[in-house]
Copies of this chain bind each other. A is one copy, B any other.
């Protein structure tokens, strides 16, 4: 569980409000880590209670005011220490894999539909990743060190999406062969 660290990480370079965090989680770090706004607000409360974040209200014109959070020194230290803690590999926990264990003649066509859906959304994700890569990481070697880390995470996302896509194709081919018999 690293939601608190994911939030602190998102705040390393820019202070943000809960609402902005929820949105930034739709891109950037959120490519790998999704959280609902309730989860984020609850976690922000915990983190500022702990003293890892400070908050200030910012007036806005044309919009309701917002509460902007920033990393405190204590937060920065906690984050750096967390980096050194060992983390385990997580299982995929993908429903689709469990569903495949239930494959039978009557649900093959549904599985095909789901796989096509996955294929499509992975394709879109891959386009997005590649667009980010071309725009911001065209020459990774010349980037500052933290940005190189972000690039490696992005590359992880790209490789994973490529692999998932090609697995979908393999699986669809196999299911197609079943259906035509």
A49 at interface, CB cutoff 8 A: no
A170 at interface, CB cutoff 8 A: yes
Partner of A98, one of B32, B140, B155, B167: B32
Contact status A102-B9, CB under 8 Å: yes
- Contacts A2-B98, A101-B29, A102-B83 given: A155-B167 contact, CB under 8 Å? yes
Q: A28: shortest Cβ distance to chain B, in Å?
A: 9
Contact status A178-B148, CB under 8 Å: yes
- A96 and chain B: residue at smallest CB distance: B87
- A111 / chain B contacts, CB cutoff of 8 Å: 83, 149
Partner of A110, one of B84, B92, B118, B164: B84
Give the residues from 98 to 125 in chain A that come closer than 8 angstroms, CB to CB, to chain B: 98-105, 107-108, 110-111, 114, 117-118, 121-122
Give the residues from 74 to 100 in chain A that come closer than 8 angstroms, CB to CB, to chain B: 79-80, 82-84, 86-100
- A115 and chain B: residue at smallest CB distance: B152
- The contact sample of 22 A-B pairs, CB cut-off 8 A, is A6-B98, A9-B101, A9-B102, A31-B91, A33-B91, A33-B92, A33-B97, A80-B102, A83-B111, A84-B107, A89-B94, A92-B156, A97-B153, A101-B146, A102-B149, A103-B148, A103-B149, A148-B174, A152-B174, A155-B167, A155-B170, A159-B170
